[in-house]
Amino acid sequence: MKILYVCHRFPFPPKRGGKIRPFNTIRHLSRQHQVTVASLARSEQEAKEGEGLAQYCGRYEIGRVRDWVQALRMVARLPTPTPSSMGFFYSPRLAHRVNDLLRKERFDLIFVHCSSVAQYVEDAGGTPKILDFGDMDSQKWLEYGGYKPFPVSLGYYLEGMKLERAERRLAARFDMCTATTRAEWETFEGYGTGVPSDWFPNGVDNTYFSPDGETYDPLTIAFVGRMDYYPNQECMIDFCAKILPRLQAKRPALKLVIVGADPSPAVRRLGKLPGVTVTGSVADVRPFLRRAALMVAPLNIARGTQNKILEAMATGTPVVTSGVAAGGVDASSPEHLLVASTPEEYVEMIFRVTDDPIELMRLSHAGRARMLSHHAWERSMQRLDGIIERSLSRPSREQMSQQF
């Protein structure tokens, strides 16, 4: 089967959330099918690094874009009904290459990851199409609005509403829609589009992310995540203001290590606080996870799967997290991780782990076992195979429309 796979971030190397899911999907599909990948690269370095994808797919097309140009495309869409996100992920060159491919070749399936790049193939006819929303991005923008000051908050609300309208419209242009978690799928179902839909979870590389048997520091807790991502920035600033002082009041030697690329100036300033280290980009996050007594993930804004939680649990690092972040992981509290909602609960749960080696080991083993059984990529891809099979066995959207 010939598949055209379109995604918003060039999916190699799979070092961040927006690349991990498409990379593993492409790698899986390429084992039995001929996959052509079309995506964007935001720098020469990203395009060069992306050449490694060649061993995982039949071929690829790169739309090279520059951030300042994409920013202008976003601004140009502000007074229009089109979401600015669509402008940020639009490349005339990539659009031309996709159109050229569709004109010259016949594909058996078009698979799109992320609604912001569905624009490249929404008008393509004659081929079954699947739109993997991943997360319902509109809801994330609407949540951002609740954390931003006015009038910036208004901009986020408007973008969220425009994007939700676009998600509903785009869904009707595809034969099947999917999401990353049951919660995201239920959000999509709430739109009432009538489009067939399902979900398949993110996985984790349980071989790469695994315990090493070395000792940990009972007075070190860690947070791992890209620090140019607003929800990560917001939760760490909030944690250091409201929770860390309570922890250090009882354990003055307690340390927090914030690990992640491209920290904002506000996050870098956290490194001046007693006991706080902000590493910036690191070559390998695993040593930081393995040396910590636990990973804290106190996200207040969270959509879809938090890969950081999957990776920590696979490494055997206990996790203390918020309810909204835990909702994207197929695990339960207190069996596999611990959930907190108030500063007092975070303090209680964190000390429950750091002060009790038996509880720490219980969560370490239970968390990794859960990742092996419920978040292995092989299991997720089996679910995806079933979704594709069902989608191809149904009459297409065009065939259905011709009957009426």
Contact status, residue 130 vs residue 110, Cβ threshold 8 Å:
yes
Q: Which two tokens stand for residue 277?
A: 């280290």
Residue spans of the chain under pLDDT 50: 404
- Tell me if residue 54 falls in helix, strand or coil: helix
Q: Where are the domains of the chain?
A: 2-202+377-402, 217-374
Q: Which pair of structure tokens corresponds to residue 154?
A: 């208004």
Residues in contact with 116: Cβ distance below 8 Å, sequence separation at least 6, in sequence order: 8, 83, 85, 86, 88, 89, 137
Q: Cβ atoms within 10 A of the Cβ of 38, count?
A: 25
pLDDT value, residue 16: 82
Computed from CA positions of residues 191, 81, 126, 38, in that sequence, does the dihedral angle turn out positive or negative? negative
What distance in Å separates the CA atoms of residue 213 and residue 234, rounded to the nearest whole number? 33
Q: Looking at this protein, which amino acid is placed at residue 395? A: P
Q: What's the whole-model pTM score?
A: 0.89
227-269 confidence digits (pLDDT tens): 999 999 999 999 999 999 999 999 999 999 999 999 999 999 9
CB atoms near residue 50 (< 10 Å): 21
Please tell me the predicted confidence (pLDDT) of residue 147.
86
**Which class does domain 217-374 fall in?**
alpha beta
Q: Where are the beta strands (DSSP E) in 46-147?
A: 59-64, 109-113, 129-134
Asked if the domains 2-202+377-402 and 217-374 are classified in one and the same CATH topology, the answer is yes
User: Distance between CA 90 and CA 92 in Å, rounded?
Assistant: 7
**Cα distances (angstroms) measured from residue 105 to each of 29, 108, 175, 355, 399:** 19, 10, 20, 62, 21
2-202+377-402 falls under which CATH superfamily?
Answer: Glycogen Phosphorylase B; (3.40.50.2000)
At residue 396, the pLDDT reads: 65
Q: What angle do CA 57, 59, 61 make, to 5 degrees?
A: 120
The pLDDT assigned to 403 comes to 54
> Tell me, what's the pLDDT at 123?
95
Q: What is the pLDDT of residue 397?
A: 61
What's the pLDDT at 365? 97
- Chain CA centroid to CA 294, Å: 21
Count other Cβ atoms within 10 Å, centred on residue 249: 10
The residue count of the chain comes to: 404
* Amino acid 149: pLDDT: 84
Check residue 360 and give its pLDDT.
Answer: 97
